[in-house]
Structure 1
């Protein structure tokens, strides 16, 4: 069956207008399930973690299983696209990563599967919580996931800054390992005229931030980048007479290899422990989010290249991984597979910009590449 692009565009616009952030994608998941029931009924709907679910399309004969993934969640970003009729109806929430487009692509693949494959099974995973790094992990560890156990798993991500419809890929790490940590320090308030009578986290936080810069300089090389970025600090009250007792600093650490992130995190934690002891503070070192590196096997890269060629798409190999994290690494770490980028246009706003809007005219590209990947995987 040929995908109904007009219908899929309407679906994408509805999703864009009704975004839900991670762990709250109940209405989004229900809408997708209704769409599949009405337009591309699956043989099974398997409930997974949170709002996540998998739609299974079984072939006419037994064979391998290939899984294709799309994300359900939006971002806590206020949309400024006042000129589009399907603008987000929820202030402070928007599909600024293009996950609305990813869902519409997977719905289009479902329409092609109304006529089942000759053999094997195609599993369409509608996954929650990608933006927090927990969705893929929790879905793949869910007891119901054992009924899927794919032989191959693939995902795509739209990429502004690249020609529309181009396929961007590489072997090895495609998207970086990322860890988001919070360092919380607590001591004792004092009069700011007598700070020595209390225990303030102020200098400890300043020294820790400088340590983060030193660590980045030590690990960041021309061959393999590393980043430690302070992203949030909070301390004290707006009162001239109070020397604060509590403060916290948050950092994101990222690199192409998870082992590098772990070493940097270990050194940052050790420095925080030393500073807490020096300044007489209690310390809590908390990992808030974590993304495993998304890695592509050579076989998966070759299959993505074959699918690109079959659709007449330009394949653009890249030399370095993207710096952003993607929780699909939890799946490529367990199963053979890979991730590729789908060019969204060279003049588009960047991902996570408040004016980003997934371009409808690349829906057909994503559907074609995914469909060909499924065909190749089941051959």
Structure 2
């Protein structure tokens, strides 16, 4: 990587912070120890701190010069409810929770940039946004509802995510859609329990549920245009407690993903219709709860090009990649303010566990690239650094 303003000392500090944060993972809206650590660091760097957005959200602001232009840089803070199995010296101390998506690394990278930004020249204001509850619970939306961009306005907002599928130095910030919208669904099918040896005395919701799951496979294959990218996945089936008892009910859960509004609406209508009608055909009743969670993450074309220019100047390999069917609540921020969301390649040469794996560990080799990207983006958006290596 060329023209890096990041010293070895700054990188080592960020790695130390990352390992500390990895060991104290906290779940959505409960990132109290994490938030305290981030707040203390930002205060030590001389930032003005605003707290309380989405409960544990933190915004550190710093200004220089006379320009009113303001940008936001965002990192997610929450962990996942996963039991860590990787044997690490800094493994999770909180049983059943771990940073399996690299949010510890995202925070360390943003803190690393924050630790250096007071030493570089820019003209305007930077808001370092540390957001809770990215995983499923919509912390970005909650921060906005709590007045984030009304109280602390920005002209543009930027986010990044480590991407183990791409090599270190690879960079993606496609204009337009980059992450899919997503929904969750819960189908409860009620029948009449009976002895497993006497099924004729009951109404079997398990058979009905299996038929519903099978029928749902036709939604995408037979209702959605082959030119649209849509996923409908059943991920959970819960029923019964014994080998010889037909239960009263079965619960089926899953998720939908899409990029265009029309097929997204179609998923909801077809889910209700199929579940109700198929369950009825088997003598059962179905209740469907369908909940859209995150919209499509859409990069503004201008700011995506700005992000690509920064990465190219740093010597990263700027590539075009198909959008991911994964989802991001940074989508809510991009609905409120133009900006761009980027993937930074983080592939490891060994044990390259995927995101959300109990074996996942953020690749610390990405940290200098990430810090340099944030500093380069500040230069791009707010008029430049002094070009000297920060120490």
TM > 0.5 between the two? yes
> Does residue 1:284 correspond to 2:287, yes or no?
yes
Match of 2:319, SS state, is strand
How far 1:202 moved relative to its partner?
Answer: 2.1
Q: Report deviation, 1:336.
A: 0.5
> In 2, Cα distance between the equivalents of 1:104 and 1:125?
13
> Structure 2 residue aligned with 1:244, among 239, 247, 257?
247
- Residue 62 in 1 paired to residue 64 in 2? no
Is the Cα–Cα contact under 8 Å of residues 62 and 125 in structure 2 kept in the other structure?
yes
Counterpart contact for 1:47–1:54, Cα < 8 Å: no
Between the aligned partners of 2:50 and 2:207, the Cα distance in structure 1 is: 54
Which residue number in structure 2 is paired with residue 371 of structure 1? 375
SS of match in other structure, 1:317? coil
- Equivalent residue runs for 1:1-379 within 5 Å: 4-38=10-44, 40-82=45-87, 84-115=88-119, 118-192=122-196, 195-218=199-222, 223-240=227-244, 242-287=245-290, 290-318=293-321, 320-345=322-347, 347=349, 348-379=352-383
Distance 1:51 1:219, change over 3 A: farther
In structure 2, do the counterparts of structure 1 residues 149 and 273 end up closer, same or farther at CA, with 3 Å as the change threshold? farther
Question: C-alpha distance in 2, partners of 1:235/1:289?
Answer: 25
Aligned counterparts of 2:130 and 2:23: Cα–Cα separation in 1: 18
Looking at structure 2, the residues matched to 144 and 324 of structure 1 have their Cα atoms a distance apart, in angstroms, of 25
1:240-267 CA-partner distances (Å, limit 9, x unpaired): 2x33211110111112334422211221
> Which runs of 5 or more residues in structure 1 are unaligned?
none
Q: Secondary structure at the match of 1:299?
A: helix
Question: Hey, what's the Cα distance between the residues in 1 that align with 2:275 and 2:168?
Answer: 46
Cα distance in 2 for partners of 1:134, 1:282 equals: 31
Aligned residues: 375
Deviation at 1:142, TM superposition (A): 1.0
Is the 8 Å Cα contact of residues 179 and 296 (structure 2) preserved in structure 1?
yes
Q: Cα offset for 1:149?
A: 2.6
Counterpart for residue 389 of structure 2: none
CA shift at 1:9, angstroms?
0.9
Unaligned runs of 5+ in 2: 384-391
Task: Report if aligned partners of 1:256, 1:321 keep a CA contact under 8 Å in 2.
Answer: no
The worse-fitting range, judged by mean Cα deviation, of 50-59 and 123-132 is 50-59
Asked if the contact 1:81–1:87 (Cα under 8 Å) also holds between the matched residues in 2, the reply is yes
Q: Is the 8 A contact 1:161 1:346 kept in 2?
A: no
Moved more, 107-116 or 162-171: 107-116
SS in 1 for 2:135: helix
Q: What is the CA distance between 1:199 and its match in structure 2?
A: 3.8
| CA distance, structure 1, for counterparts of residue 278 and residue 153 of structure 2 | 46
